[in-house]
Amino acid sequence: MKVALIFDYGKTTGFGHYMRAEAIAQAIRDVTKDYSRNLTYLFWAYTPGESASHLNLNSFKHVVIDSYLMGDKFYNDVMAGGPQLIVVDDGFVHRTYTSPPRLVSPHIWHDDRYILLRKAFWNVEKKTIRKKVQNVLIMFGGGEKAKEYAQLTVPLLNDNYDVRCLTPTDRKTFTEEEVLKSMLWADIAISGCGVTMNELACVGVPSIGVLVGEDQRPCGHAFMSRGFIKFMLRDKEELSAVPKMLESDSMNYDKRKKMSKLGRELVDGRGAHRFVKEILI
């Protein structure tokens, strides 16, 4: 099987597209088992304005694209070459296709079967919910906006809580194992409502959602409507309310236990496997 995985990556789009592509690659290796003989794949970060021609995609059976930045021409050039095009679609980019590709939503607000999480989240131990909130994890994803939000939030909490902030940069990234370890450590997370919120739900970390980008709104609303998050902040001006939210009755022990259970029921960590088995094989 030959699969090309092409995705956005960088300061303007964050790391969520890359994380989903990595989850698919890991699941392909796990499902096919005999990696060296049964699989050839291309793992490629897209550059705006790039042409599909130099990637030689005609020999691939499937091309999976997860991108905001890619223009219509790139997509249509891929389809003209013969591979099956599968678009991991956030629902915010409307394109004109010469023929319709297979569209797959990776979000709970549309289709929770294909929430794509990396290997560390496939079989997560049950999280212990402590009566007292002490450990607070801050995760807004990657990019300059995420860094700004983190810099505004950390000083609000440092005096009363043990705070851990994971904000990847060009110089510092975190492995999925490091991320999982921090989520198991945390009593509550303050997080963007993108891929990280899916991971938090899978682990069962009671969370406060923050819209770091408008594209995160449907995911945030979906988790609120299903009871996993109780608060969703719309912009950085609302971050000052975080300390009161942590102390509110909505974050008491019993409600956090319920939130944790709901999160694990909503996101089982097996979406990447379903993607590979039901779509690629």
Q: Which of 162-176, 226-240, 266-280 is predicted least confidently? A: 162-176
pLDDT per position as a tens digit, 59-97:
888 999 998 888 888 888 888 888 889 999 766 567 777
pLDDT of residue 100: 79
Q: What mean pLDDT is predicted for residues 13-35?
A: 85
Q: 181-215: per-residue pLDDT in tens?
A: 999 999 999 999 989 999 999 999 999 999 998 88
Domains of the chain, CATH where assigned? 2-104 (3.40.50.11190), 135-266 (3.40.50.2000)
pLDDT above 80: residue 169:
no
In tens, the pLDDT along 113-168 reads 999 999 999 999 999 999 999 999 999 987 788 889 999 999 999 999 999 999 87
Q: Over the chain, what HEC string results?
A: CEEEEEECCECCCECHHHHHHHHHHHHHHHHHCCHHHHCEEEEEECCCCCCCHHHCHHHCCEEEEECCCCCHHHHHHHHHHCCEEEEECCCCCCCCCCCCCEEECCCCCCCHHHCCCCHHHCCCCCCCCCCCCCEEEEECCCCHHHHHHHHHHHHHHCCCCEEEECCCCCCCCCCHHHHHHHHHHCCEEEEECCHHHHHHHHHCCCEEEECCCHHHHHHHHHHHHCCCEEEEECCHHHHHHHHHHHHCHHHCHHHHHHHHHHHHHHCCCCHHHHHHHHHHC
